[in-house]
Amino acid sequence: MDRPRPPPLSPKSKEARERDMRENIWWGVRDLTFLYPADLADVPPVVANALIGRDTDGSGHTILKFLYTDHTTYCDIDLVNSQLFRLDENVLLCVSQDANDGCGEKKSYSTAFTFELRSEDECTRFYKKFQHFKRTMTDEKAGKPLENGSVNPPKSKFDNKIEASSAKMYFHYYGQLLHQQNMLQDYVRTGTYYAAVMENRADFEGRVVVDVGAGSGILSLFAAQAGAKHVYAVEASEMAEYARKLVCGNPSLGQRITVIKGKIEEVELPEKADVLISEPMGTLLVNERMLESYVIARDRFLGPNGKMFPSLGRIHMAPFSDEYLYVEIANKALFWQQQNYYSVDLTPLYNSAFQGYFSQPVVDAFDPRVLVSPPISHKLDFTRMKEEDLYDIDIPLNFVASVGTRVHGLACWFDVLFGGSSVQRWLTTAPGAPTTHWYQLRCVLAQPLYVMAGQEITGRLHLVAHSAQSYSINLTLSAKMWGVGAEQGGILQTSSGKLELKEPYYRLSQPQPYMVQDQQPPQQATPLFENPSQMQDEGGPIVVPVDPNRNSADLEQ
């Protein structure tokens, strides 16, 4: 039985069509093929023309006009509310959020057309023309006209909170294969993602998946391997082009993957997702502020009862003692103590240099035996939290020292949970666990604290997001009264520091040999953890630091 052809939506006279072509239509292609009109799925492919030009109905908008070859109008789409995605060498997907069907009625963004052009070159030219007209059109929604007649396009949520220079550097960095290789070769990271997906095939099989910040597209390919019905790989950097090549090079999987270049805050997708997958973690979990985009993707694209991989993150913190690290940082400023540097006295800048070096968080892999108390953790539930919750993260600190020593600052690491239906799997960056490309992070205070075993350490870790895609870190640690009269409360010592997460000191890739430092006699010290379960919270990874008073010889016996 032949399927009925959809009726013409707004037929025009020959004279009107010729006037449109002469006065209003600027550019077009002929004989493209509609492969899939999303709202007319039962209609076979039809041959049509596509034209880009001015709407003649008085709105002045620039529109994309699809015409049958007999020149009856098929659909007019306002470029203000449309997106164009390249699916293949000569296949494009057009999605309209607010399309006019030619009869004056509005449709939702689910109005989507997949169409095929005659060649890759013609497809490229059409795509570029579409983006050119979209950028240069004059419309009240887009902003006030400039002197040359162009317009300021409205800023997205991402653009409103992130400096353009920072975003440019960020996307340039992740647009390079060498940095993607660095992440792919982190086998703890990549292997854990692969295991989390494959062990939870039931969450992916036959489902629509959105890969947020897809990078090379490796997670999209994992999702396709697990049986995903379709994967939308959204990537804003130039890495999207490499991802397309990788997807095309794996055709058995790639036929179910669509790579979309654009920010997650700006792109439109033709359907809701059943699963979001992403690797949004930065140093200290929150650096680069991609977690906000992950939460935005959840609100925009994830359907009811959808899954998120990962679904939960935790920042772990504990005070540490590392005399060698402290001396190493302090010694960097000794250069500025020279009083006769080419007959110039540099000492007026010494204090500023000293504070400057201590404003850099240290990124390296440290020995867990430098910790002087059990850690605490702060949870971030990606499935429920608001984007705004990531703007200002205020964490109260409270520890009990297990040894008597000098506390040099706060050590931090994180883990994330893949809460699959079949297997719950953690990815951890904890000290003592296999090292990842995130390493761990330590905030070193310029003024250490002296503590005794059993003494309470309080404080605050306050992270404030800024427009350079990172955070300012405000850290305060205080040693409370100890011994006789401790029940009266009060603070004996306090030390504070302000650090910049975007400007860390990358120190070493592996832990240094642990050396016993000047501490209390061993008989007065208490073990860091009497019970290993103290390190485990809700099924998280177990990391058990060794008593700091044991030296390397003890461990070898």
Tell me the domains of the chain and their CATH numbers: 22-99+108-138 (2.30.29.30), 164-279 (3.40.50.150), 314-506 (2.70.160.11)
Question: Residue 487: its pLDDT value, please?
Answer: 62
Residue 131 has what pLDDT? 73
Q: What pLDDT digit, counting tens, does each position of 51-86 carry?
A: 666 554 445 566 777 666 655 556 677 776 777 777
Write down the residue that tokens 């007959």 correspond to.
343
Per residue in 290-314, pLDDT (tens digit) is: 999 999 999 999 999 999 999 999 9
Q: Which residues of 60-83 are buried (b: 16+ CB within 10 A; e: fewer)?
A: ebbbbbbbbeebbbbbbbbbbbbb
CB atoms under 10 Å from CB of 483, counted, come to 8
Q: Which helix (H) or strand (E) holds 323?
A: helix 323-332
Tell me whether strands 230-235 and 257-261 are parallel, antiparallel or unpaired.
Answer: parallel
Maximum distance among all Cα pairs of the chain, rounded to whole angstroms: 100
pLDDT at 503 over 80: yes
Locate 374 and state its tokens: 């059990």
How is residue 167 annotated by DSSP?
Answer: H
> 95 has which bridge partners?
83, 112
8-state DSSP, 58: T
Specify the pLDDT at position 289.
Answer: 96
Average pLDDT of the chain, as a whole number: 80
pLDDT per residue as tens digits for the range 389-419? 999 999 999 999 999 999 999 999 999 999 9
**Spatial CA neighbour of 271 closest among 111, 79, 157, 156:** 111
CB 202 within 8 A of CB 238: no
pLDDT of residue 114: 75
Structure tokens at 105: 């009625």
pLDDT digits (tens, 9 = 90+) for 231-283: 999 999 999 999 999 999 999 999 999 999 999 999 999 899 999 999 999 99
- Residue 332: its pLDDT value, please? 95
Range with the poorest average pLDDT among 14-28, 224-238, 257-271, 482-496: 14-28
> Considering the chain, what percentage of its residues have pLDDT values greater than 90?
57
What is residue 118's predicted lDDT score, i.e. its pLDDT?
Answer: 79
Residue 342 has pLDDT above 80, yes or no: yes
For the segment 417-426, what is each residue's pLDDT rounded down to a tens digit?
999 999 999 9
Pairs from 136-142 (Cβ < 8 Å, separation ≥ 24): 137/61, 137/62, 137/79, 137/80, 138/60, 139/60, 139/61, 139/62, 139/80, 141/80, 142/80
Q: Which residues contact 21 (CB under 8 A, 6 or more apart)?
A: 51
Give the per-residue pLDDT at 526. 37
Report pLDDT for 456.
Answer: 94
